[in-house]
């Protein structure tokens, strides 16, 4: 059974600082890994999807890396802004999508 862990559970940084969010998974035989953002009371927005054959994926200020052998992925958010405040979830597909508990980010103006 795939288990996904996210550290830290919460993070508070001043505006402009870079964010580093960690995700680990127990079964390295994954098809891909997705990072999502969830705002309070809203659904999930897909941020990045990394295929198992890829080592990283970039979109704007976001960069996600994947190390299958060690069962880790890291989401980097450069030059954080207050609008980046949200909960960030990583997930890997098994027969279902296994989610981490999320990292709640607060960016202080």
Partner 1 sequence: GAVVSQHPSRVICKSGTSVKIECRSLDFQATTMFWYRQFPKQSLMLMATSNEGSKATYEQGVEKDKFLINHASLTLSTLTVTSAHPEDSSFYICSADREGTYEQYFGPGTRLTVT
Binding site for partner 1 (CB under 8 A): 31-32, 34, 36, 41-46, 49, 89, 91, 93, 95-97, 99-102
Tokens 């080592």 sit at which residue?
A: 55
User: 54: how many CB neighbours lie within 10 A of its CB?
Assistant: 14
Q: Which is nearer to partner 1, 32 or 63 (CB)?
A: 32
Minimum CB separation of residue 101 from partner 1 in Å reads 5
Residue 11 vs 44, nearer CB to partner 1: 44
Q: Please enumerate, as own/partner, the contacts of 93-97 that have beta carbons within 8 Å and a separation of 24 or more.
A: 93/30, 93/31, 93/32, 94/1, 94/2, 94/27, 97/34
> Which residue lies nearer to partner 1 by CB, 77 or 91?
91
């Amino acid at each position: 059974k795939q288990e996904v862990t996210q550290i830290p559970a919460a993070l508070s940084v001043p505006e402009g600082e870079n964010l580093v969010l960690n995700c680990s998974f127990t079964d390295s035989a994954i098809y891909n890994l997705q990072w999502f953002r969830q705002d309070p009371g809203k659904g999930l927005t897909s941020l990045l999807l990394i295929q198992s054959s890829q080592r990283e994926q970039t979109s704007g200020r976001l960069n996600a890396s994947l190390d299958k052998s060690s069962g880790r992925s890291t989401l980097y958010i450069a030059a954080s802004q207050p609008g980046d405040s949200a909960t960030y979830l990583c997930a890997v597909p098994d027969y279902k999508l296994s989610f981490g508990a999320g990292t709640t980010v607060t960016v202080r103006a």
